[in-house]
A and B are shown apart, each in its own frame.
Chain A
């Protein structure tokens, strides 16, 4: 148990409450943000024709730190996992479809984890988007299978992005 004086506890509680109230999902990319749209979606210097799709908001931080990526992002908030009851309607894939249908997007880079579920999600999105004529690419293999993107070292991650391939 953490022992704090009462006035500090109240301050801490209000700070936590504040964070909860301010944090929301970006209405464009579903990243976690305090202001909507998020800083990535507001940044005009970022290429809106290039969308990198990740499973979790933390993956954006890892990618952005490592890869000098200058496009936009999309957060699925999970991956397809049929045994856990996670199908296409349980992750934010429809919002991605809507963004691509708007017509500006040239390329979608699938940066889901190199796990069975992450690979299935990438293949599913590729199948979903292929009639729209958009290029769908996948982070290069060579990442260890079964890992969480968050834990891959920066060099590996940057190389993986450089070596992306068509699905």
Chain B
């Protein structure tokens, strides 16, 4: 095969769509290529050598042949399978949510080492027992790397200080907004001072450090809701796997009609 038509990439499998009887199209994210699609022919057959290596949330080394319309996966070898994320439904749901964010926030064929680094670090953290709120740190990092760095230190509108027991987090304004600027903020959600402080720390600290912060259930919910609003605004929709996190958590309660 022509060498120029082949490339190698270390990537994380974001998603899979089955086509035909035995093929699948995979969306992968690589540090030096960004997000890209490639097809694996015959991957669903029992004897396919690539099968199992291309499961979503696997870090994999692939050899890809450039195709006319769609690139073709020719080899795949697992680098990290993130087994704990497969054995735990809640962790798996959080990790898939992170994968969906990468899928939605990034573009094809674009060097994105920082996004890849953040993504692998949040998967590593979740797989090694870090609390689930590390995902907030990842959301902030991913948004910042995608041009949506939230202004959390001062009013996003006038640059003034942010006194008071609750602070408005406004997605349209791009961060916190002071009392005087609320009218021009375009709307948002009031968060507690405690939530505001933790959001600042989550943005500035490494993911691993943020994982060591104790966050109670109520605060975890508030942090998640605050950033969910912003992400919804930026993406113009709620990521579908966000609902899934709640679905699996509430599973036993669905017994009541």
Contacts and interface: CB of A to CB of B under 8 A. Distances in A.
Interface of A: 80, 82-85, 87-88, 97, 101, 115-117, 119-120, 123-124, 127-128, 130-132, 144-148, 151-153, 156
A146 B43 contact: yes
Contact of A128 (B22, B53, B251): B251
Contacts of A148: 18, 22, 44
A82 B241 contact: yes
A119 B86 contact: yes
A116 B254 contact: no
A153 B46 contact: yes
22 contacts: A82-B93, A82-B97, A82-B100, A82-B243, A83-B56, A83-B99, A83-B103, A87-B247, A88-B254, A116-B57, A116-B92, A127-B251, A130-B252, A132-B255, A144-B52, A146-B43, A147-B46, A147-B48, A147-B52, A151-B22, A151-B46, A156-B46
Contacts of A123: 89
A120 B92 contact: yes
Interface size class of B (residues with CB under 8 A): 35 or more
Nearest to A114: B52
A146 B86 CA distance: 12
Contacts of A85: 240
A131 B247 contact: no
Given A144-B46, A144-B52, A147-B52, A128 B86 contact: no
Interface in B159-215: none
B32 to A, nearest CB: 23
A80 B243 CA distance: 12
Contacts of B99: 83
Interface in B56-81: 56-57
A127 B252 CA distance: 6
A84 B45 CA distance: 22
Contact of B251 (A84, A124, A146): A124
Contacts of A151: 22, 44-46
B54 interface: yes
B5 interface: no
Considering residues B15, B22, B100, B248, which has the most beta carbons from chain A within 10 angstroms of its beta carbon? B248
Contact of A131 (B43, B51, B248, B252): B252
Contacts of A128: 251-252, 254-255
Contact of B244 (A82, A115, A116, A119): A82
A83 B89 contact: no
B55 interface: yes
A97 B251 CA distance: 11
A119 B96 CA distance: 14
Given A128-B251, A147-B44, A82 B55 contact: no
B17 interface: yes
A82 B93 CA distance: 8
A123 B255 CA distance: 16
B56 A116 contact: yes
A150 B73 CA distance: 22
Interface in B210-244: 240-241, 243-244
Contacts of B252: 127-128, 130-131
Nearest to B18: A148
Contacts of A132: 255
B150 interface: no
A84 B19 CA distance: 14
B39 interface: no
